[in-house]
Structure 1
Amino acid sequence: MITAANNIKVDDAESTQHYDRRRELKEFDDSKCGVKGLVDAQAEKIPRIFVHPQVNLTPSNCNNERTQLNVPIISFGGISESPEKSRAEFICKLRDACQNWGFFQVLNHGIPVPLMDEMIEGVRRFHEQDVEIKKQYYSRDVSKRFYFNSNFDLYQSPTPTWRDTMYCIVAPDPPKPEDLPAVCRDILLEYSDCVTKFVVILLELLSEALGLNPSYLKDIGCDEGLFLLGHYYPACPEPELTLGTNSHTDSGFLTVLIQDQIEGLQVLHQNQWVDVPPVRGALIVNIADLLQASFLNKL
């Protein structure tokens, strides 16, 4: 084993005879530095715990030729003022995206693009700040209002992914401003307020798309919880051996994402992985398993 800075141990490919996976997981976790710490330590190889089986790196249903399918893009501009026919057409388009994709991108959603950019920068500032300051927020206690770690399922996942994540419970009980990191405090609070307002409008439209009263999803409490995640994917010394995230479905109700202007996100559609190229100023909506089941039952 080669010992790097911050007491993080980097696996040597030749040292496999007495490999102790549990020990390596704990050493990595106890460092409280995340994968960013490995990068800062100038690791030339990734720890063995991050090496994925080849079958995960090249799924059987991966289309090597770029597919021409496109995730739906829906503009919310003027929806509240739209005449009845136009609104009906909009709801039909929204319903189709939910039933057939479970994903869509939203433009003209009311959240200023500079604010979205600053939220991304706030996430970056948090993860790239001095490690000794950042360590105080490292935790696996999900009851905390704000914390960060690398892989929430580090000890349960067959293979961890190359990312660190900050977590913040925004609603129904928001954190006190003084409990948030100074490098992202103001933007986190401002962005959370804006996205909460957007979600209220989105829930009304989704209720209509389900053929229900516009207030239905809000009335049953779907707007009462907001959990913000800020993923960070630092440059990897051996990117061909690992992944930033595994293929998965979200078991919850609704997820709203913003992504940096870098390609990488894909969704599974008709048994093919489809690229979701970044669209400037767009929010990405994933209606997740519970809500998608409601739309599929409408088919």
Structure 2
Amino acid sequence: MESSDPPFRSFYKKLFDNHLINGPSSKCNENEALNEAKECEFELPLIDLSRLNQDGFESEDCKREIAKAAQEWGFFQVINHGVSSDVLEKMRCEQVKAFKKPFQEKVNGLREFDFLTRNYRWGTPSATCLSQLAWLEAFHVPLTEISTMGGVTSFSTTIKQYAKIVSNLAEKLAEILAEKLGQNPGFFKEKCVPSMCYIRMSRYPLCPDSPQVFGLMPHTDSDFLTVLHQDHVGGLQLLRNGKWIAVNPKQGTLIVMIGDIFQAWSNDVYKSVEHRVVTNKHFERYSIAYFLCPSYETVIESCGGCSAYRRFSFGEFREQVQEDVKRFGHKVGLPRFIL
């Protein structure tokens, strides 16, 4: 029976051989050290969004908690977010069904998931050493492709339902965070267009080389914010005060992460935090993330006080990230745009 897993070992044989013969390269020493750092247990802020529908005081208190978590953590969890457990479970089932197709079928054409094939990614083509390799496969699907998906299948029905709810949630949270900065909350509705916002469905296969290889190497997100649902396996970690903190799965919760663009737009009030996914030898992991992104033409200009960053467009930011990844094997990000 043809395997559903990407051929990580054979395709990246040179990276594995170099690691075995020469050990980690100088470029990767920092990531190797991060991978060996002791993981700590810590509880992320947990916010009940049902309070936004209550009286004025309770609603405002909830908004303050959201802003505080974005400022102090850059990561927080939400419950009563509007995505039912039924939709989350259906979404996972549809993910599993798509990812369990043979690898060559995912690359060359999935019959009932044909639109996914052109959005399929796996591994890290730019990796220059083993710790830059991402042991995952993913489908990156723009909202426009989801909304225009033809046919009525369990997959199309489920992902359309999920995308509608989670995109509204992301926009709502972004508007609250803008409001707490005294900025125009309508900015996101105007600038974050469906062709740029997307859903990424990810699968992290069993990894016999764990912990030498990451599921996702340490990075920050390049968007305004990310809304993530992870399954019961776990593996997501964030860096706080020099220590890695496991973001343990909690049933029914969604995780919200501040991205680079929001940090720049807020003039460092809100924090884009480095995070990673560690691999697992015994269990595969599934997650689904929604990324709230502006159009390429959108100019990011820090609000309030003396700006820490120069003005730049989102297109310019993305181009710089791609250039750095190609050149160095990893993203540099916001430091490129500091005044």
Partner residue of 1:291 out of 244, 262, 271: 262
Greater relative CO (CA pairs within 8 A, separation 6+): 1
Partner residue of 2:133 out of 151, 160, 172: 160
User: What does 1:141-290 correspond to in 2, within 5 Å?
Assistant: 146-151=118-123, 153-155=124-126, 158=129, 159-171=132-144, 174-177=147-150, 184-219=155-190, 221-222=191-192, 224=194, 225-290=196-261
Distance (Å, rounded) in 1 between the aligned partners of 2:164 and 2:154:
18
Distance (Å, rounded) in 2 between the aligned partners of 1:61 and 1:87:
42
Shift in alpha-carbon separation, 1:109–1:259, aligned structure 2, 3 A? same
**Secondary structure, counterpart of 1:129 in structure 2:** coil
Question: Which residue does 2:43 correspond to in 1?
Answer: 70
Shift in alpha-carbon separation, 1:173–1:229, aligned structure 2, 3 A? closer
TM superposition shift of 1:150: 0.7
Question: Which residue does 1:141 correspond to in 2?
Answer: none
Shift in alpha-carbon separation, 1:206–1:59, aligned structure 2, 3 A? same
Shift in alpha-carbon separation, 1:186–1:172, aligned structure 2, 3 A? closer
Distance (Å, rounded) in 1 between the aligned partners of 2:210 and 2:12:
9
Q: Does 1:116 align with 2:85?
A: no
Shift in alpha-carbon separation, 1:278–1:173, aligned structure 2, 3 A? closer
Shift in alpha-carbon separation, 1:46–1:183, aligned structure 2, 3 A? farther
Partner residue of 2:68 out of 76, 96, 102: 96
Partner residue of 1:126 out of 98, 109, 116: 98
**Secondary structure, counterpart of 1:291 in structure 2:** helix
TM superposition shift of 1:233: 0.7
**Secondary structure, counterpart of 2:98 in structure 1:** helix
Higher strand share: 2
TM superposition shift of 1:44: 11
Question: Which residue does 1:59 correspond to in 2?
Answer: 34
**Secondary structure, counterpart of 2:251 in structure 1:** coil
Q: Deviations over 1:154-185 (max 9, x none)?
A: 1355432211111111138844335x9x6733
Name structure 1 gaps, 5 residues minimum: 7-32, 139-143
TM superposition shift of 1:214: 4.2
Shift in alpha-carbon separation, 1:147–1:285, aligned structure 2, 3 A? same
User: May I ask how many residue pairs the two structures share in their alignment?
Assistant: 254
Question: Which residue does 2:113 correspond to in 1?
Answer: none
Name structure 2 gaps, 5 residues minimum: 111-115, 271-339
Q: Percent identity?
A: 25
Shift in alpha-carbon separation, 1:172–1:206, aligned structure 2, 3 A? farther
Distance (Å, rounded) in 2 between the aligned partners of 1:204 and 1:278:
26
Q: Deviations over 1:55-83 (max 9, x none)?
A: 4344188235x34x322111101412x22
Q: What is the TM-score of this pair, normalised by structure 2?
A: 0.64
Shift in alpha-carbon separation, 1:206–1:130, aligned structure 2, 3 A? same
CA contact (8 A) 1:150 1:164 kept: yes
**Secondary structure, counterpart of 2:140 in structure 1:** strand
Shift in alpha-carbon separation, 1:157–1:231, aligned structure 2, 3 A? farther
Shift in alpha-carbon separation, 1:248–1:297, aligned structure 2, 3 A? closer
1:76 partner letter: L
Distance (Å, rounded) in 2 between the aligned partners of 1:293 and 1:103:
16
CA contact (8 A) 2:181 2:266 kept: yes
**Secondary structure, counterpart of 2:183 in structure 1:** coil
Shift in alpha-carbon separation, 1:249–1:132, aligned structure 2, 3 A? closer
Shift in alpha-carbon separation, 1:289–1:44, aligned structure 2, 3 A? closer
Question: Which residue does 2:310 correspond to in 1?
Answer: none
CA contact (8 A) 2:67 2:180 kept: yes
Distance (Å, rounded) in 1 between the aligned partners of 2:264 and 2:37:
25
1:284 partner letter: I
